[in-house]
Amino acid sequence: MIIAVPAERTIEETRVAATPETVKKYTAWGFEVRVEKDAGNHAGFADGDYQRTGAKIVATPQELYQHADIILKINAPLPEEIQYLTSGQIIIANFQALAHPAQIKTLADKGLVCMALDMLPRISRAQSMDILSSQSNLSGYAAIIEAASRLNKAIPLMMTAAGTVPPAKVLILGAGVAGLQAIATAKRLGAQVYAFDVRPQVKEQVESLGAKFIEVNQEHFETSGGYASETSLEYQKQQHAAITAQLATTDIVISTALIPGKKAPILITEDMRKQMPDGAVIVDMAAASGGNVEGTVNGQSIKIGNLEIIGNSNPARLIPATASKLFANNIYNFLASQYHTDSNRIAFNFKDELVNKVCVAQNGKILI
């Protein structure tokens, strides 16, 4: 079997879907691994590192994809890559299929098999393959570090001969994997941390990390996938009031709230934003889905008055070495679950829940 690892062409993407460590495991299976030239440069993996673990370095996408059985990517292939792909090839990536149905249709029409690891079921044996958890965890950390580097004041409490510096106040909107890691990181930096989530059951997790949970007095339920669903108008009014009150003294906001397949909910309006102190920083991690903050521009950092809003849905790209390592391990674990030692091949079992749930296109059909 031939595994192809291309250089990512999505703007500002720094990660790579295979590391020298995982390439070594694939070559140990007896597979041929092709890596596009300079694919791992941003993550600190030189072509020579891949070659030493058995990979073949190729110069062009056309050569890379020719006769490849499995293609490992961070993001879905762009049109400039699709021209080189052929029917029956298997692509494993983060497709965000619910948000990009037209893209999936193009790939399905091409006869490609698309395995979207972002669609993995939330079951125990899928944990080691879960790209959303591994990357969200890193993104929560990186978002706090990015915000702290932009803030015009110190984060921790400092008691000095020249005077006392109060700790910065941080608000985390959404207490999923990214939000919880953001809380933990902000606390380690010495901030006073507050968190809001529509799911009251996450209060215990938030408080266990040392943050104060902002409560809204209305019971709310989550979807079967563990994500928050849309809220009622009455709930939104209470939410608006609670968050607005907190924003008046908040130095950093990290917003992470998403609803799968839908536009991200607006949690901070223009009027609410105006309540924040001068020099405050917002990192909107929902920017690619429209943003949680009115005025967010995906992929850009903008100044509105003395406030900075960073539209960054992929903070993990800021730490590409670590992010690539975890992403590559997730893919390897998924492939290992379908590897057959007797035939020395990867044969996907489409009756397996893992495969069935992640396959979003096959035989020219869209499966979501």
Beta bridge mates, 193? 170
- pLDDT tens-digit series, residues 49-72: 999 999 999 999 999 999 999 999
Residue 127 known to be catalytic: yes
Classify 139-318 by CATH class: alpha beta
List of E strands, the chain: 2-5, 32-36, 56-58, 70-75, 90-94, 113-116, 158-160, 163-165, 169-173, 192-196, 212-213, 252-255, 281-284, 301-304, 307-311, 339-340, 345-346, 359-362, 365-366
- Report the pLDDT averaged over residues 326-355: 96
- In the DSSP assignment, the letter for residue 266 is P
pTM of the model: 0.92
Helices (H), 13-128: 20-28, 47-52, 61-65, 79-82, 101-109
Options 9, 122, 150, 199, the catalytic residue: 122
To which CATH superfamily is domain 2-119+321-362 assigned? NAD(P)-binding Rossmann-like Domain (3.40.50.720)
Map residue 190 onto helix, strand or coil.
coil
Options 89, 96, 103, 133, the catalytic residue: 133
Q: How far is CA 14 from CA 42, 97, 363, in A?
A: 5, 21, 32
pLDDT value for 236: 83
Distance (Å, rounded) from C-alpha 67 to C-alpha 3?
9
Domain with CATH 3.40.50.720 in the chain: 2-119+321-362, 139-318
Residue 225 reports pLDDT greater than 90 = no
Confidence of residue 235 (pLDDT cuts 50, 70, 90): confident
List of residues 6+ apart from 28 with CB closer than 8 A:
none
Options 118, 130, 197, 284, the catalytic residue: 130
Percent of the chain with pLDDT over 90: 89
Residue 9 known to be catalytic: no
Q: Which of 45, 128, 115, 132 is nearest to 330 (CA)?
A: 128
Options 66, 128, 227, 345, the catalytic residue: 227
Options 62, 83, 87, 127, the catalytic residue: 127
- Identity of residue 185: T
Mean pLDDT for the chain overall: 94
Residue 130 known to be catalytic: yes
Residue 188 reports pLDDT greater than 70 = yes
Sign of the Cα pseudo-torsion (255, 258, 263, 267, in order): negative
Confidence of residue 348 (pLDDT cuts 50, 70, 90): very high
Sign of the Cα pseudo-torsion (336, 322, 2, 80, in order): positive
